[in-house]
Structure 1
Amino acid sequence: MYDTILVPTDGSDLADRALEHAIAAAKQADATVHLLYVVDMRVAQSAPGLAIDEIRQTLGDEGEKVTNALERTVADADLDVVTTVREGVPDDEILAYADEADADLIVMGTHGKSQRERILVGSVTDRVNHAAEIPVLTVPGKDQS
């Protein structure tokens, strides 16, 4: 049923929970898991005084760190894994990547790490859920389940 499962991540505990669900689905379907971290440069607006290139590098490094750690988790489950770090507007990049990778399923958390990210990522999840042409599995936080 699923050949390619996309898991957008921000490094949050909830994104890790979403990955657990994606791994379970991928094992059943023998699917490849694609991990996507989107560097959202809009956060640079909240850090005046820092150079844009410095922020881009820091956020990109964080994305690499997060996806590398999760790549090991997926590989330990004996599944094929692809990791990608991209820059852009998260919901746009998630939808574009899903199309480019010919994903069959998107698995993502319902919110991000911080309260601000809960608002932004919650909105990202909502926009992806409404705009995606493939199924989207949203994983709630423990306090919501």
Structure 2
Amino acid sequence: MFKDIVLAVTPSEVCEHAADKAFGFAQRFESNLTIVHVTGMEQGWGQMEWLEPSGETARIQKNIEEFYSEKLKGMPNYDIKVVAGIPHNEILRIARQANADLIIMGPHTREHKEKRSKMWGMAGSTLERVSQRARCPVMIVTREAPYGEQRITRLLATSDFSKQAECAVAYGGQLCRHYNAGLTVLHVLEDTHGAADTKLAAEVKGRLQCSCESALRGINNVCYECLEGKPAMEILKFARMRDVDLILMAHHSKEEDPEEAFLGSAVVQVALNSACPTMSVNRHFDLRCGMMYDQSGSVAPVSSKGETTV
């Protein structure tokens, strides 16, 4: 399912959980794995021009290969790229060059992870910028997950009834078909001030089922839920209570202004506080994914590279 994976890391324990997930997927799907490390910013723009001629990037590349040497054994299709520049720009550029169908990232620095979990309003992180602009799904992994076989048995997809959310749910359906997993589609009612009732929740569930029916056709284990409250908090609580293996969300689905979308996005709030990985699908992926129809007129599932899978 994932043939070309980009893993964006710093060679440290902070990104080790993301690295384990990427190695596990690459082994399971026999994927081409590109390991990316962006350097140069700590040395300053004035010194970036000598990083490659001086052999500094080659030294860092060797360090990364040694750091992951045990996990890279028996994995023939991998490449390590060390580049200088602005992290999110370089990660996105390399992902485009590799025609990646999945980007996997960790929090990158312990300080950032701690601050981000406390200050959800902090804007402009590499995670946010990559997950907003990538042309493929972005998986954010911050907690330890079992190494080796990557099983997904319980998947949670969130929906706000936007086109991006429809694409995210459809992609969640593909994962469910591949893993024979169960899927919950969740909508969170905001700003009800406690006024939401059972009738309204039932109406929302019915609307969810109607909007997702075509994309999820043939999946037996699907349920629809409606909760009330702050989206990130309710998603995190639900995922923890149901022991979810993966959360799938549409990134910035309601924001028209890209800069405003950076401010405390629900995707990053969930990703950096979730016990399981979070996968983000954005508007750029939606343009590639679309809703493609088969000859019978029903929605045909599509891959992360825009190819029909029926």
Percent identity for Structure 1 against Structure 2: 24
Worse-matched range after superposition: 91-100 or 123-132:
123-132
User: Is the 1:60–1:85 contact (alpha carbons within 8 Å) kept by the matching residues of 2?
Assistant: yes
Once residues 67 and 103 of structure 1 are traced to their aligned partners in structure 2, the CA distance between those partners, rounded to angstroms, is 21
**Hey, what's the Cα distance between the residues in 2 that align with 1:71 and 1:13?**
11
Provide the rounded CA distance (Å) in 1 between the counterparts of 2:36 and 2:115.
20
Ranges in structure 1 where 5+ consecutive residues have no aligned partner: 46-50
Per the alignment, do residues 52 and 40 of structure 1 end up closer, same or farther by CA in structure 2, a change over 3 Å counting?
Answer: closer
Tell me which of 81, 84, 96 is aligned to 2:81.
84
Separation in structure 2 between the aligned mates of residue 99 and residue 53 of structure 1, nearest angstrom: 23
**d(CA) in 1 for partners of 2:134, 2:48:** 31
Q: Please state how far the C-alpha of 1:7 moved relative to its aligned partner.
A: 0.5
For 1:33 and 1:74, the matched residues in 2 are separated by 12
Aligned length: 137
**How far 1:110 sits from its partner (Å)?**
2.3
Deviates more, 1:135-144 or 1:56-65: 56-65
The alignment status of 1:140 with 2:136, answered yes or no, reads: no
Cross-structure match for 1:52? 47
Say if 2:75 is the partner of 1:75: no
Q: Assess, with a 3 A threshold, how the Cα gap between structure 1 residues 14 and 125 changes in structure 2: closer, same or farther.
A: same
Q: Does 80-89 or 55-64 show the bigger shift? A: 55-64
Unaligned runs of 5+ in 2: 117-123, 145-271, 276-310
Q: Is the CA contact (8 Å cut-off) linking 1:2 and 1:29 kept in structure 2?
A: yes
Which of 98, 101, 121 is residue 98 of structure 2 equivalent to? 101
Q: Is the 8 A contact 2:37 2:81 kept in 1?
A: yes
Q: Which has the higher helix share?
A: 1
C-alpha RMSD of the superposition: 3.1
What CA distance in whole angstroms lies between the structure 2 residues aligned with 1:88 and 1:118? 24
For the residue of structure 1 that corresponds to 2:105, the secondary structure is strand
Given the two structures, how large is their TM-score scaled by the length of structure 2? 0.39
Q: How high is the TM-score relative to the length of structure 1?
A: 0.77
- What is the aligned partner in structure 2 of residue 64 from structure 1? 61
Contact 1:3 / 1:29 at 8 angstroms: preserved in 2? yes
Question: Which has the greater radius of gyration?
Answer: 2
Greater CA deviation, 74-83 or 124-133? 74-83
Q: Which has the higher contact order (CA 8 A, sep 6+)?
A: 1
Q: Matches of 1:53 and 1:25 in 2, distance apart?
A: 33
Task: Map Cα deviations across residues 13-60 of structure 1 (whole Å, 9 max, x no partner).
Answer: 13221110011111221101111111132x234xxxxx8379835863
Please say if 1:36 is aligned against 2:33.
Answer: no
After superposition, the Cα gap between the structure-2 partners of 1:7 and 1:68, relative to the gap in structure 1 and judged at 3 Å, is: same
Q: CA deviation at 1:116?
A: 5.9
Offset at 1:64? 1.6
Structure 1 runs, 4 residues or longer, greater than 3 Å off: 53-59, 116-120, 141-144
Whether the 8 Å contact between 1:105 and 1:137 is mirrored in structure 2 is yes
